[in-house]
Amino acid sequence: MKKAKAYREPSFINSRDARPLRILAEYLEPKSRFEHFGLDDTIVFYGSARLTEGSHWYEAARQLAFRLTQWSRALDSKKQRFVVCTGGGPGIMEAANRGAAEAGGLNVGLSISLPHEEGANPHITRDLVMRFHYFFMRKFWFAYLAKATIVFPGGFGTLDELFEILTLVQTKKMAKPMPIVLFGTQYWKEVINFDALLRHGTINAADLQLFHRTDSVDDAYAWVVSQLTARALDKPGAML
C-alpha cells in the first residue's frame, strides 16, 4: 500500500506531534495573503458579536470604519494602508467590515473556530477571510499589523483583546505607537474601574493616557487620523 507523504497524512498533520507545523501554518498562510494584497498595516476594531444591526454601537462602528477607509484610500500610497481589520464575526465586527466595504476598501476578517461559531460575516474582502484555530496566533496578527485599535463595548473576548494590547503597550513590548480608542465612555467606566486601579497603586497615572475615551464618531475619527498622520504615516509595514 502506497502511503501518503507526511504533510498529506491527516493522521499525522492533526496529531499532537504536528502541532508546531499547524502553528507555523497559521503564521505563514496569513503572511502570504497580506503580502499578495500589498497590505501594510491595519486599524483593528474589537467589540461584541451581540451588538447587532440597528444598535447605536453597530451604527457607530459602521460609520467610523467607513470614514477611516475613505481617508486611507485617499492617501498617496502604492500600498494598502490602515486597512480595517476585525475578528470576522457578527455584531461590531460585521459593522466595521461593512463600513469599510461600503467605502470601497479592502477589509480583513480574522475569524476563529469555535463550537457554536456563526461563520465569517459577508462583508469581508473574500480572499482576506482567515480562519484560525489558535487564539494566540490570531491575536498575533491583530497586533502585528495594527497601527491603531478601536474597542467598542464587548464581553470576555473583547476584554481579553483590550488587555492584551494595553499590556504590550504598557510594558513596551510593543515599541510602535498604538493609538487606542475606548468607544462608549459610560460602558467602559462601569465595566473597568481604571481609577480604582490607580487608587490602589496597581497602575500609574501615566497608564491612563494609554487610551482615548469617547462617545463620538467625529471625535474618534479626528483623533485616530491625527495620531496616524503624526506617528505612522511615514512608517508603513509591521512594527512590533
- For the cut 70, the answer to whether the pLDDT of residue 159 exceeds it is yes
Residue in 229, 240, 238 with CA at minimum distance from that of residue 34 = 238
The reported pLDDT for the residue numbered 10 is 86
The reported pLDDT for the residue numbered 54 is 94
Cell numbers that stand for 183 in this block: 468607544
- For the cut 70, the answer to whether the pLDDT of residue 153 exceeds it is yes
Work out the percent of the chain whose per-residue pLDDT is above 90. Answer: 84
Q: What is the mean pLDDT of the chain?
A: 94
The reported pLDDT for the residue numbered 117 is 63
The reported pLDDT for the residue numbered 75 is 94
Q: Per the domain annotation, does 155 fall within a domain?
A: yes
Give per-residue pLDDT as tens, 178-217. Answer: 999 999 999 999 999 999 999 999 999 999 999 999 999 9
Contacts of 109 (CB under 8 A, 6+ apart): 85, 86, 87, 88, 89, 93, 97, 120, 121, 124, 128, 129, 130
The reported pLDDT for the residue numbered 127 is 95
d(CA 182, CA 135): 22
Q: Per the domain annotation, does 140 fall within a domain?
A: yes
Q: Per the domain annotation, does 141 fall within a domain?
A: yes
Q: pLDDT-derived band of residue 2, with 50, 70 and 90 as boundaries?
A: low
The reported pLDDT for the residue numbered 11 is 87
The reported pLDDT for the residue numbered 115 is 77
Q: Per the domain annotation, does 162 fall within a domain?
A: yes
Q: Per the domain annotation, does 239 fall within a domain?
A: no
Q: Per the domain annotation, does 1 fall within a domain?
A: no
| Residues facing 109 on adjacent strands | 86, 129
Q: Per the domain annotation, does 3 fall within a domain?
A: no
The reported pLDDT for the residue numbered 29 is 96
The reported pLDDT for the residue numbered 4 is 79
Question: Mean of the pLDDT values across residues 130-143?
Answer: 96
| Helical packing angle, 135-145 and 19-36, nearest 10° | 30
- For the cut 80, the answer to whether the pLDDT of residue 24 exceeds it is yes
Q: Per the domain annotation, does 16 fall within a domain?
A: no
The reported pLDDT for the residue numbered 97 is 98
Q: Can you give the pTM of this predicted structure? A: 0.94
Domain count, the chain: 1
Phi, psi for 126 (deg, rounded to 5): -50, -50
Give per-residue pLDDT as tens, 80-119. Answer: 999 999 999 999 999 999 999 999 999 999 999 987 666 7
Do residues 58 and 154 lie in contact, with contact meaning Cβ atoms separated by under 8 Å? no
Please report, for the domain that includes residue 114, its CATH number: 3.40.50.450
Give me the domain span that covers residue 59: 22-231
